[in-house]
Amino acid sequence: MSPEPDLADLLDARLDGHADDADVPESFRIDLARALAAHEAIRDALEETILLPGGEPASDREPPRLPDDYEVVRELGHGGMGVVYLARQRSLGRQVAVKVLRPGEMAFGPMLRRFEEEARHLARLRHPNIVAIHEVGRSGGEPYFTMDYIEGQSLSARLAAGVLTPSQALAILRPAAEAVRHAHERGIIHRDLKPSNILLDGGGRAFVTDFGLARDMAGSSGVTRSGEVMGTPAYMAPEQALGQADRIGEATDVHALGAILYEMLAGRPPYGHDAPARVLARLLDAQPEAPRRIDRRIPRDLETICLKMLEKEPARRYATVGALLEDLRRFDEGRPPLARRPGPALRAGRWLRRHGTAIAAVLLVAAAAAGLAWSLLPRRTEVQVQVEDRTADSLIAEANARHAAGDHALAARLFTAAARQAPADRRPAILRDVVRCVGELSDRAAALQIAADAIELAPDLSFGAYDPLLASVADDRTRAVTPVHRSGRTPGEPEMVAELRAEDRPVVELAQTRLELVAKGNFSDDVRRDAEDRLVRIRRMLRNEPSPGTWRTIPAQIDFPKGTADELHRRSLDSSVPRWDRARAAYAEGRTRAEAGDRPGALEAYRRAFELIRCGSPTYPEPAPASAPRFDPPEARFLLDIEAAIRALDPAAPSRLKGGLRFRLTGLELPPGVSVFFSPSLVDPALDPKLAGNGGGFLPNVHIGRERTAWLGVADGHYRLSVPAPGKSYGHDGRADEATERSYHLLDVDYSDLPAEVEIRGETVDLPPLRARLLEEIKLLAPADRAAFDPNEGIFRWSPVPRASRYQFALGAITVSEGGSTTKRGLGGYDTASTSLCLGTAPEQNQVLATLSRELKPGTIGEWTVQAFDASGRKLATVAGPPRNFVVARSLERGRD
């Protein structure tokens, strides 16, 4: 009896003309009809955009008739959704990509609406890894929109050169997934994610593009009908292939990301490159081959994540991209993913569903019985071994015995304990046994934990392939280190110093040692470069230098790069270089060209520098009279300097530095000596907010004192406005009374009436007022000030606040140096609806308790405070004074790692 054919066999026969409907079993007819219809629709209408090598045009078509501000350079690609051109935007001196729907494409009817949908979707998305749209319009009857030009290559072109390593694949997948999550949060499903729609710039940074098939989950546009198959077969999800529009959602894009990850790791899509019908047949009827069968070097946990992304049923995939990113984070940390590999019953069920024979049913019953028998077998548990009060020799003897018995994990732990007990001269030999045992472990998470314990004893101990991950873990620990910022005390010191505390220095030094080990090791170029990049921050911390964007060392003047005009020009256009450095390069290019007599080239370079700064740091200082000169840092004056250079070459050029913002404070009168201060973030909507001041750009400080108003110069443009982390300062002269000090602590300023966006066009914009008010007072009831306190059993208590929905409890610690100076550091916050809290019985929250268990040691001086909020998140009350102190009597035992 010949075996029943599968869907792929039937499709091959139909496409080759060797079968008709009579040859198709009833169980396959619906899926076969759908696959054939999809084959025709996709083949005819949705070919991929073709990226052209060497800038050669794809056809004899004439360039589009764009507005005069744009000069077409060359055609970049064409496909089912129009033609993409590289163009130069004269007014801003930048290159942009222009997508044009040509008259020939308009004949498709719905294609015009899809083109307009793409422009509308892109205009709503502002993310550093999404190709941003700038302008939408029509010219000569042809719709077009302009967007960022990413100078580099598509992921499909990169994959043509060969498979990627897991680290390279994840370096592309993570930012692409973050971009897709951003779109999902705004109700947009991409529906056509594939390697050709992920662009890589010169630095390898990934950008998602081509939202031509995106679906707005907030409402149907009518562009896509139920039953219509849209997408690219090799990367679409089963619900797309079946035309089930009502089932398309976030999990659909997760499936596409899984197909992209699969191809990056395995060198081909999960269902191959073939005729659309054949690919769809495998998508509907077959499971993808496990990536590790193609390449055994692919980590098992990463394979598990990839296969979960490719599940047939949306409910079995990651429900959101956020859930996927969480598992990728766990993979990076060496922890097992939350995804689980399919068990025997599920694999057998898939086989049964596909083959549907009596033999398969028998095998399924047998597999279930075997699973039941296996579940009844006793589980082997790790033997707990006492290591305290034992000599190094006895620990080594037991470690050797455990190793001989095949328990390499326990042997490694015993060797590590022995190394702690042994004299320094014996320790290297014992640690070599630890390295040997770790190399024999198949449990990656256990191996990483043992290695992390061992490097505390020997920071430069190498564990081979685990070294990059150990370095990453060590570097992550430094993120919790908060240097103490102080003014420079000696000549030649920076104006502000970020001083490491003595107890934090070993943590940072360990990270430096591990990263240097990787940077000099036998690893890929990407891994070594990543280690070098991390070392920049670590070495800055060890030199007590503040990080860019927090406290900035103010030089006597701006340091401009050197080079030829062409070299500086290329650097100013390099998107992998920080925006501030690109602006300095453009300004230096302008000076070089001006000195050479190239006036047009110099003007273009200066305007490019101005725009690079304006997008993320558009503020400039208020002009001051000669009798009262100001001493603003050079960064604050940079826009003024650039404009002066432009006006020197073109006196008729209009000034873009005439307008600004006026802030006003209403409500409560500020107590004497008290001022409100904040650093407003003003960012062009085309730029991600996190890139404000990128790479050292100046962030302004606005101070409002008793005059209740402040002016801030802002270059002409459109900006997103926000006020992150506002504060207040108290500059009294020591004679302030208790009521004034109490008012300072209870003072709160409401910034919520400020607009989310502002437009500056040569005039001062008066903003809605900031509202000052006094909060209600919370009284801290227990523990008493400076009392001994046991965090395991003691209870923090405070007075209730009417209308409070939640209280935010915050803990800190005070360290007193040998010289008598004190430093404070925050240890974390905790939300509760109660007016009391016992850390020993509190549930885990954001790993706060794990941090406290390390920090709250006996003798530590802790400090605590509380704030109250209503149901809408509005602050109602706070403590009218400094935090309350207590002395830790016993280490917190909860939350221990």
* Pair (163, 295) in one structural domain: yes
pLDDT at 708: 82
Burial of 498 by CB count in 10 Å (0-12 exposed, 13-18 middle, 19+ buried)?
A: buried
Judgement on whether residues 129 and 266 belong to the same structural domain of the protein: no
Distance CA(53)–CA(79), nearest Å, equals 15
Q: Hey, how many other C-beta atoms are within 10 angstroms of the C-beta on 360? A: 16
Where would I find the beta strands (DSSP E) of 405-503? 484-487, 496-499
Q: What percent of the chain has a predicted confidence (pLDDT) above 90? A: 18
Domain boundary among 128, 148, 168: 148
Query: Which long-range CB contacts under 8 A does 173-177 form with residues at least 24 apart?
Result: 173/257, 173/260, 173/261, 173/264, 173/328, 174/325, 174/328, 175/128, 175/129, 175/205, 175/206, 176/129, 176/206, 176/208, 176/257, 176/260, 177/257, 177/321, 177/324, 177/325, 177/328
Residue 850 is inside which H or E element, if any? Answer: helix 848-855
Give the global pTM.
0.40
pLDDT at 22: 53
Asked whether residue 310 falls in the same domain as residue 275, the answer is yes
* Burial class of residue 362, CB neighbours in 10 A (0-12, 13-18, 19+): exposed
The pLDDT of 274-280, averaged and rounded, is 68
Mean pLDDT, all residues of the chain = 75
Cα–Cα distance measured from residue 868 to residue 802, given in angstroms and rounded to the nearest whole number: 9
Res 276: pLDDT: 64
Is the pLDDT at 221 greater than 50? The verdict is no
Q: What is the pLDDT of residue 600?
A: 93
pLDDT of residue 218: 42
Residue 38 has pLDDT above 70, yes or no: no
Identify the band that residue 86 occupies on the pLDDT scale cut at 50, 70 and 90.
confident
Give the contacts of 676 (CB within 8 A, at least 6 positions apart). Answer: 665, 670, 703, 704, 705, 726, 727, 728, 749, 770, 772
520: in domain: no
pLDDT higher than threshold 70 for residue 629: no
Q: What is the pLDDT of residue 113?
A: 56
**Cβ neighbours, 10 Å, residue 229:** 24
- For range 510-534, the mean pLDDT: 85
Least Cα distance to 864 among 806, 778, 801 occurs for 778
CA distance 536 to 212: 41
What Cα–Cα distance (Å) separates residue 482 from each residue in 479, 544, 829?
Answer: 8, 11, 16
Query: In the prediction, which pLDDT does 57 show?
Result: 45
210: Cα separation from own chain's centroid: 21
pLDDT value, residue 345: 39
For residues 84-104, average pLDDT: 78
> Is residue 686 over pLDDT 50?
yes
For position 589, what pLDDT does the model report? 95
Of 728, 758, 774, the one marking the end of a domain is 774
What's the rounded mean pLDDT across residues 181-197? 84
Q: Between 715 and 739, where is the model more confident?
A: 715
**Taking a C-beta distance cutoff of 8 angstroms, is the pair 202, 575 a contact?**
yes
**In which order are the strands placed within the sheet that holds 727-730?**
702-704, 674-678, 727-730
According to the 3-state scheme, what is the secondary structure of 161-194?
A: CCCCCHHHHHHHHHHHHHHHHHHHHCCEECCCCC
Q: Is residue 494 part of a domain?
A: no
- pLDDT value at residue 815: 72
Local confidence band at 550 (pLDDT 50, 70, 90 cut-offs)? very low
Q: What is the pLDDT of residue 716?
A: 94
Q: Are 780 and 879 in contact (CB under 8 A)?
A: yes
Position 799 in a domain = yes
211 and 266 share one domain = yes
pLDDT in the model for residue 656: 92
Could you tell me if residue 314 is inside a domain? yes
CA-CA distance, 806 to 795, in Å (whole number)?
17
Given this model, what pLDDT does residue 657 score? 92
Average pLDDT score over residue span 208-228: 49
Pick from 541-550, 690-699, 719-728, 766-775 the range whose average pLDDT is largest.
766-775
Whole-angstrom distance, CA of residue 405 vs CA of residue 414: 14
With a cut of 50, say whether residue 418 has pLDDT above it.
yes
168 and 101 both lie in a single domain: no
Please, which pLDDT band fits residue 40 given cuts at 50, 70 and 90? very low
Pair 783, 886: CB distance under 8 Å = yes
> In this structure, what are the phi and psi dihedrals at residue 357, rounded to the nearest 5 degrees?
-110, 165
Reported as a single tens digit per residue, the pLDDT across 95-122 is: 888 888 754 444 444 545 555 555 555 5
**Is residue 42's pLDDT more than 50?**
no
pLDDT score of 755 more than 90? yes
763 shares its domain with 676: yes
336, 346: one domain: no
Query: CA 167, 168, 174 angle in degrees (round to 5)?
Result: 80
Predicted local confidence at residue 382, as pLDDT: 36
User: Within this chain, do residues 352 and 317 fall inside the same structural domain, yes or no?
Assistant: no
The two structure tokens encoding residue 228: 């219509």
Q: Where are the alpha helices (DSSP H) in 727-780?
A: 738-746
Name the residue among 822, 821, 838 with its Cα closest to residue 830.
838
Q: Are 200 and 153 in contact (CB under 8 A)?
A: yes
User: 110 lies in a domain?
Assistant: yes
For residues 199 and 129, membership in a common domain is answered with no
- Name the band, by pLDDT with cuts 50, 70 and 90, for residue 691: very low
Q: What are phi and psi of 513, to 5 degrees?
A: -60, -45
Least confident piece of the model among 125-139, 269-283, 729-743, 788-802? 729-743
Residue 513 belongs to a domain: no
Determine the average pLDDT of the residues in 210-231. Answer: 45
| Whole-number pLDDT of residue 379 | 32
pLDDT tens for residues 172-181? 999 999 989 8
pLDDT for 170 equals 92
The residue segments making up the domain with residue 755 are 660-774
Instruction: Check residues 342 and 394 and name the one with the higher pLDDT.
Output: 394
Give residue 368's pLDDT: 36
**112 in the same domain as 180:** no
Nearest to 254 by CA among 242, 239, 268, 243: 239
| Helical spans, DSSP H, in 481-564 | 505-519, 525-542
312 annotated binding-site participant: no
- Residue 557 belongs to some domain of the structure: no
pLDDT for the residue 106: 41
Q: Is the pLDDT of residue 351 over 70?
A: no
Do 234 and 301 sit in the same domain of this protein? Answer: yes
Choose from 38-42, 44-48, 846-850, 875-879 the range with maximum mean pLDDT. Answer: 875-879
Same domain, 327 and 440: no
Beta bridge partners of 831: 808
Residue type, 642: I
Asked if residue 193 has pLDDT above 60, the reply is yes
Q: pLDDT band for position 800 (50/70/90)?
A: very high
3-state secondary structure of 204: coil
Residue 122: give its domain's CATH number: 3.30.200.20
The upper half-sphere exposure of residue 246, i.e. CA atoms within 13 Å in the direction of its Cβ, equals: 1
Place 430 in a pLDDT band, splitting at 50, 70 and 90: very high
Query: Tell me, what CATH number does 829's domain have?
Result: 2.60.40
**DSSP code, position 495:** S
What is the number of structural domains in the chain?
6
**Across residues 624-650, what is the average pLDDT?**
71
Q: Give me the mean pLDDT over the 485-493 stretch.
A: 46
- Domain with residue 172: its CATH number is 1.10.510.10
pLDDT of residue 432: 92
In a domain, 97, yes or no: yes
Residue 333 has pLDDT above 60, yes or no: yes
What pLDDT, on a 0 to 100 scale, did the predictor assign at position 616? 83
